Structure 1
Amino acid sequence: VGTASVRLPDGPAAGVVVGALVVVNAAGAPTGLGAPSAAPGGALDVDGARVVDAPADPPLNTTLVVVATDAALDPAETSRTATTAHDGLARALDPVHTLADGDTVFALATQAVALPAARPDRVAALVAVQAAAATAVERAVVDAVRSARGVRTPAVELPGWTD
């Protein structure tokens, strides 16, 4: 489980906070973190491409995400924020959104901070909120992976994070 938040410092969405809570059980491996060699995403080949050894009977994995913001978003804007937040998973995990994954992102908006009503400023504010959502998800995945502890069951042994 990991968390992260981003406060927008300036622009039409100044002061808006976007936070993410993730539960990571991904089929892919964390990227850019010096992932442990036993990571399920496989190794990198000599050209830097990820080599994935897919098991004959792959486990079912999922990463669950909730993104929350205090911005006043309508339902369509909130839905689009959830869609954009998926980019944070793609930044932090490789591969992501495979047939073995059930990755999903939910979003909510508390309506506490009004955004501009005028179209050009509103679009700029929404882009900033949505970009912050992706960043918060990416950082929350990193937090979750770095917080992970090893688990051993009769069916599987999953290593914890080691630097």
Structure 2
Amino acid sequence: MRPVDWSVVGFSGDPVAGDPVVVRDGGRRYVGVAERLGRCAQVLRGLEAGASQSESVAGLVEVKDGLVDEAMRAEGRYRAAGAALEAYAVVLDRVQVESLGALQVAVGAGLEVEAAEREGAYWQQRATEVAGSMGAGVEVPAGAGGVSDPGMEELGRCQRLVERA
């Protein structure tokens, strides 16, 4: 089960939704249909009116070329769709792993940013208290306890990685 909360990287939901196993299975099913269509076309090609002279067989022999052509076109479409789904499943699986890794790094970076903000606020408060006890004329620079740029840069890097995936 993939995480639901992707807000730390700027998404309201999973940016790479889907189930590679289901997609791969769908691709295999399409390829299976293509194989059955190919076998049907072979059987139809083998039909001849020689041994059996029933009207139904004779009627089928008359239209078999059209049926074979249609079966072969359908086989090609199903085979191509199945192959595309199977290839997509591989890519989907890889990209989901990459995006999950980026999310985990971003969550870690977010936690580090929060910790740095808390620590910065603590030291800002302490500096203000010390400056106040020293009397007039001592000022604490604004942002003295702010978050470092490297933490924000790491968070931004993770967001870009998820967006590319």
| More contact order relative to length (CA 8 Å, sep ≥ 6) | 1
TM over 0.5, shorter chain: no
Looking at CA atoms only, which structure, 1 or 2, has the larger radius of gyration? Answer: 2
Please, what TM-score do these two structures have when normalized by structure 2?
0.25
Which structure: greater helix fraction? 2
Please, what TM-score do these two structures have when normalized by structure 1?
0.25
Which structure: greater strand fraction? 1
